[in-house]
Structure 1
């Protein structure tokens, strides 16, 4: 009797759905194929998960393959992150595949491998702000740091976990353009990012306020300031924070009205060209004493040509340049921007670095690479192309629980990383996830140092284009420098910097 009632109720429910489908006019598929058409929407909804775990191979999925995610997850949990039985990558037939060339002998590497140490120290080969004599110039303690991700797009729990993880691993944590929140004050050293809306450093009219910037920087462990010109996910495109997301807390942090749409302009209003931008840089550096740099995706090169020409004069300049690859990142954006605006990282970095190298300026500033540099092979290629440090964003998100569900733009992140939904965010425990973040950051540093030792150098910054080949997919290969048009000596540190960082690493290993 009970079963018949259940079946009857189920049949009634199906009949109601069928009637609704047949009478509605919005969806042709449901009107023509009532009830069963819903299976199509279900498969579309869970398609990413099906592809992740059932359909795709270990090295096929994008933006991060299953193998890459496995390495990050295992590293973050301090589990065995080795892989057995050889590569499953089709190396000989994959154009663009990078091969790192190890050396049999080395005259400079430490006598015993140091990457097995519990917490290896891999500082930057350059002093940030040193060449321009900034009052608070410093040598970053890690070549791997956390990229800009704003509170608002990321949950409070996620920002807290990342900042604590950065503190444990001795890394820098970039605030993102959304302002310096309470969740960035968990012990990690900060890079304060200034976007086009100047959140946290703006007056009531949205204009940049220098006094508020200096007060904010002095109130937290801010080690450097990054002026964001554009980012890989949406280069040249402003953002909109809908009124519904402008909570009292976010409004206070960003310095905007509660419950009102907040539009970020596509470009800065405090300066309008390279000349005025450098005046802005020097003003901030003079007032705060901090190193000041820029972050940008790379498109038209006239900006970079002008920047190099101005810096060649020697009186003004940026202390660092963060190059963001156009592969897209943590920011949600229109598909056309994610897929087709701005150069991918390797091309972007090589073109910008080449401009500075031609002018003999590469030792005068720090190059930071951002864009899928949180997996070792990509990071090694970035160092070979001239990067001095790498920033990680999505990989850091994976380390604290992200499953690449690609729901970042919906506010429905299932693991509580990229959402402001309190129920979803409560699933992310900052205490445990911060440890996983730190484990991942340390593991990446160890792998970079292990590769450096294999190449025969003491530090990732000493890896050069001569140490990497790019396979052409037809059983041939070209040197990395040849692929990207590098001249002799490009991608290498100056002799004094090479000697300094080698001695520093040898001292650490003793």
Structure 2
């Protein structure tokens, strides 16, 4: 033994290194899974090493401020700075290519809008309630008047971590916006005081029987037990993977998720592409009316956009029967946190601007826009994009990935792996333990507050008090290097219908709107 130890200790460090290299080379040559490593032992491993951190290398060193997707560094920097109450300004002019096709220009007025000094809102530059009351036209028992034009899009517990959901809910409560559950059911992390929109997907998580069928009694009990539930959103499809179901692997179904979603432990849960509660437009409208009647809540639909025939049938049916959804959420095909095959995320369904404009015109042609609240979703959590959506006819904005960025997401783009390094999109107890809901809820609160403030400031610059007053003539698009500009009305072939609005002061008098949190009423630096 002493002889062996003496021999080992006599080997120099480079001898050990050489031995490791030889062993690595033998392993590479003998394996058949990777051709590069077999043909180029040892050095071939560098290819896979560089590939493993290539996205991070490009994100932080190679890419410039304006070329990353889905959110470039400049956009992320604005969200991060806004959420942390840091300087989110820029100096020395724009560095954007303002001649690029589709570049947005918003027309300012010669004289901007100024609030009267006696108006209580003049000291609340962050307050912009919805101009429409949802469910009022169809006389739902509990109409809902959203206190904020910016709200949280559907992201479920399961897709996001418990601490992320808690942070968003607490921040939403402080600001006064609503929080959409996503299709994963209502968790304890949605119960910190914010208004909640309950999302109903094809698996009916939380309101299903053992076979995955919808159970009305469970929905009614859920609504009665949780009065902060203010609307029901029937999800037909989402931008990340429209027309495709999903799989919740058995390994990810914890006891907590099993209880929330009403699914068994130890068995994969398959979400079908289509709903089992209805199969056509009359059946869907009857389902909507039944849920609204039983719960008293406004009910709407959420969908990405592709073929338009069934949208036209829905509009015709609503016109003929005076029934149907109270709101419509249009999700852009740009994708989101939902894991999806690249073919779906990249190519299936229309981007927001095309999808929304097509659907809006269908309902406009039938005189239905005044009875529907249009909710827009799809990379709209930046001021200029939100203004564009309002000009097209949106009444509310839902933000998803931007909300994630505000609480720490770094756009690692591995949401589907359960290895999110920021703890936002993972069920790993260790990774999500790095999120402090007390801090991150403040971050989201300041982000949504700043976003609303800048939307209002752009509205005032254009001569309006509220973004609902924007028209499609107020936003023009660059047509490329030919130095031509075209209004959105010209580009998309319509002008949105005017929205009934007198003043934010009058909105505050609405009997359906609840008092705003005092923190939002207080002007902060």
Per the TM superposition, whether the score is higher than 0.5 is yes
Tell me which of 445, 454, 460 is aligned to 1:453. Answer: 460
Show the counterpart of 2:496.
Answer: 491
Give CA-to-partner distance per residue, 1:450-474, whole Å, 9 cap, x none: 1100111001111110100010112
SS in 2 for 1:470: strand
Residue 479 (structure 1) aligned with residue 487 (structure 2): yes
2-structure distance, mates of 1:498, 1:234: 36
Larger Rg: 2
Aligned to 1:121: 127
Distance in structure 2 (CA, Å) of the matches to 1:408 and 1:248: 22
> Offset at 1:110?
1.9
Q: Once the two structures are superposed, what CA deviation does each residue of 1:346-384 show, in whole Å capped at 9, x if it has no partner?
A: 011100100111111111110000000111111111111
What is residue 277 of structure 2 aligned with on the other side?
Answer: 270
Which of 164, 184, 201 in structure 1 is aligned with 2:190?
Answer: 184
**Unpaired segments of 5 or more residues in structure 2?**
1-7, 511-520
1:245-324 counterparts in 2 under 5 A? Answer: 245-324=252-331
Tell me, in whole angstroms, the C-alpha distance in 2 between the residues paired with 1:317 and 1:334.
32
Equivalent positions of 1:315-334 (< 5 A) are 315-334=322-341
Conservation of the 8 A alpha-carbon contact between 1:299 and 1:343:
yes
State the 4+ residue runs in structure 1 displaced beyond 6 angstroms: 1-4, 112-116, 505-510
1:500 positional shift: 5.4
- For residue 156 of structure 1, report the CA deviation from its aligned partner: 0.7
Q: Does 1:11 align with 2:14?
A: no
SS in 1 for 2:346: helix
Q: Is the 1:115–1:450 Cα contact (8 Å) retained in structure 2?
A: no
CA contact (8 A) 2:164 2:424 kept: yes
- Which of 30, 33, 57 lines up with 1:50 in the alignment? 57
* Residues 1:198 and 2:204 are matched in the alignment: yes
Structure 1 pair 343/143, CA: closer, same or farther in 2 (3 Å)? Answer: same
Greater alpha carbon shift after TM alignment, 49-58 vs 169-178: 49-58
Matches within 5 A, 1:41-80: 41-80=48-87
- Separation in 1 of the partners of 2:415 and 2:199? 21
Q: CA separation in 1, counterparts of 2:432 and 2:120?
A: 38
> 1:274, 1:307 within 8 Å by CA — same for their partners in 2?
yes
Deviation at 1:237, TM superposition (A): 0.2
CA RMSD of aligned residues (A): 2.1
Equivalent residues of 2:125, 2:456 under 8 A apart: no
- What secondary structure sits across from 1:240 in the alignment? strand
Q: Distance in 2 between matches of 1:354 and 1:501?
A: 27
Distance 1:261 1:65 in 2: 36
Say yes or no: does 1:139 pair with 2:145: yes
* Change over 3 Å in CA distance of 1:142–1:18 after alignment to 2: same
Displacement, 1:509? 12
Deviation at residue 479 of structure 1 after TM alignment: 0.6
Indicate conservation of the 8 Å contact 2:144/2:231, yes or no.
no
CA contact (8 A) 1:116 1:446 kept: no
In 2, Cα distance between the equivalents of 1:63 and 1:115?
35
Change (3 A) 1:100 1:3: farther
Shift in Å, 1:499: 2.4
Deviation at 1:504, TM superposition (A): 3.7
- Structure 1: gaps (5+ residues): none
By how many angstroms is 1:2 displaced? 8.7
Give distance in 2, aligned partners of 1:133 and 1:172: 21
Find the aligned partners of 1:414 and 1:336 in 2 and give their Cα distance. 26
Contact 1:114 1:509 in 2 (8 A): no
**Distance in 1, Cα, partners of 2:82 & 2:276:** 43
Q: Does the CA contact (< 8 Å) of 2:239 and 2:334 recur in 1?
A: yes
Deviation at 1:153, TM superposition (A): 1.3
